[in-house]
């Protein structure tokens, strides 16, 4: 069965797919796949939005009452290293990666009204950032692009009800 895909945006993986991807990545790199790592992925997928580390912590409590901030941050660092989780710097929060493929240059669009986050992968924008880095003599190792505004739905809603 085909998942719905709005405007060509990457559809969310389901849980088995996400966990399987995680397992593969861990195995490839000889890293351990622990309960907490699985649980964090599960919660981020279930939330279907960006969560702060402490929001995540609350959601983990029912199934793991002993989780702490420190361990959540460690787990998130680990998952970011694997490329399975991204951090939204401007919102101090974390979101599941929507592009299962290998390393990628993404840009985030964040709706300030409904909080929706789209993970885009725009080649032209990516190329432009690389050119800028080159032009100024930088060897880039991180590209943060976070665009904030109103998403289509929220735009019509705000204009709509007179």
Partner DNA sequence: GGCGGAATTGATACAAAGTATCATCAGGTG
Partner DNA sequence: CACCTGATGATACTTTGTATCAATTCCGCC
Q: Given the rule CB under 8 A, which residues bind a second copy?
A: 7, 9, 89-90, 107, 109, 111-112, 118, 120, 122, 124-125, 128-129, 131-133, 135-152, 155
Phi–psi pair at 5, nearest 5 degrees: -135, 110
- Nearer of residues 79 and 110 to a second copy, judged by Cβ: 110
Residue 125 interacting partner from a second copy, Zn ion, DNA, none (CB closer than 5 to 8 Å by kind):
a second copy
Q: Can you tell me whether residue 101 is helix, strand or coil?
A: coil
Residue 70 and residue 77: Cα distance in Å, rounded? 11
Question: Should residue 154 be labelled a site residue for DNA when binding is judged by CB under 7 A?
Answer: no
- Which of Zn ion, a second copy, DNA, none interacts with 4 (beta carbon under 5 to 8 A by kind)? none
Q: Which of 7, 35, 124, 135 binds DNA (CB under 7 A)?
A: 35
Q: Estimate to the nearest angstrom the gap between the alpha carbon of 101 and the chain centroid.
A: 13
User: Which residue number, 63 or 122, has a Cβ lying nearer to a second copy?
Assistant: 122
* Angle of the 53-60 helix axis to the 69-82 helix axis, nearest 10: 110
Q: Which residue has the tokens 């402490």?
A: 54
């Amino acid at each position: 069965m085909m998942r719905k895909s709005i405007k060509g945006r990457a559809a969310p993986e389901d849980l088995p797919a996400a966990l399987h991807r995680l397992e593969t990545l861990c195995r490839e790199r000889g890293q351990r796949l622990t309960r907490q790592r699985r649980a964090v992925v599960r919660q981020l997928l279930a939330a279907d939005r960006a969560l702060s580390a402490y929001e995540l912590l609350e959601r983990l409590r029912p199934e793991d009452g002993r989780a702490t901030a420190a361990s959540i941050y460690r787990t998130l660092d680990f998952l970011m290293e694997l490329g399975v989780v991204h951090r939204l710097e401007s919102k101090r929060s974390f979101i599941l990666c929507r592009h299962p493929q290998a390393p990628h240059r993404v840009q985030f669009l964040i709706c300030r009204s409904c909080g929706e986050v789209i993970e885009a992968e725009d080649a032209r924008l990516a190329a432009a950032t690389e050119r800028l880095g080159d032009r100024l003599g930088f060897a880039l190792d991180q590209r943060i692009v976070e665009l904030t505004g109103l998403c289509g739905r929220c735009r019509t809603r705000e204009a709509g009800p007179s």
